[in-house]
Amino acid sequence: MIDNGEKLREAFEKHETQTPDPAAVYARVQELSRTYQRRRWGAQAAGGAVLGAGLIAGVMTLPGLLPGQPSTDAGNAGIQAGAPAAPSPLPSLIKPKTPGSTPTVSAADLKREREREAFFNAGYDYDDAVELAKIWKMETDDIGSVKAAAGKKLLAGKKLPIEAGSAPEAPAPPTSKEDKQVDAFFNAGYDYDDAAELAKIWHKKTPYDAKVLGGKKLLAGETLPIQP
């Protein structure tokens, strides 16, 4: 049922549009790249306040990037060390509510972005947010809300229950015996068609079962009844 590329394509294409707001992403990209650039130059970080103010100003007004106004090369001009944050979001990524109106972002969105920003600037990451969701019994489906809630506390001068970057690492999934056998099957040069043929020869229910048995035999130094 599942080994059908069409079904996988449908699932991917149906959900690919669940993207975050490109304008918000771009704003954060510019902020991060300035941080990286400053690190690169070994300069002292100017602090989140200037960046935050620049980000908010950029989101609200978009000067210099609106159609008809001179554009800047954000790859070069927007990352000057210590310079105030350049107005960032791309005009084409922010859709005006009505044609001809000035693009705006709601106060609630701005507040949430500031909170998210505070969360990241304090050194916390996605995994910390997942851990905080567990502690605060919040839904992990919307980690953005957890980040915003944590950022709100940080902006209020409160401490979070975990240190930045301290969420425990999830253990890597172990490689099972079956996995090793399947690896051996493919590493010997066999493919799906071979597995289907072997399943017939060995009276196995599925080609996958033949891959497992084939791999087991190969690991034991045996040869298979067909060549890859």
DSSP string, 129-184: HHHHHHHTT--STTHHHHHHHHHHHHHTTPPPSS-TT-SPPPPPPPPPHHHHHHHH
In the complex with another protein, the residue whose CB is nearer, 22 or 104, is: 22
Cα distance between residue 47 and residue 115, in whole Å = 15
In the complex with another protein, the residue whose CB is nearer, 157 or 173, is: 173
Minimum CB distance to another protein, residue 77 (Å): 9
Tokens encoding 143: 């980690």
Minimum CB distance to another protein, residue 23 (Å): 9
In the complex with another protein, the residue whose CB is nearer, 28 or 56, is: 28
Minimum CB distance to another protein, residue 60 (Å): 19
Minimum CB distance to another protein, residue 169 (Å): 5
Crossing angle for the helix pair 126-135 and 143-155, to the nearest 10 degrees: 90
In the complex with another protein, the residue whose CB is nearer, 56 or 128, is: 128
Do 95 and 105 contact (CB within 8 A), yes or no? no
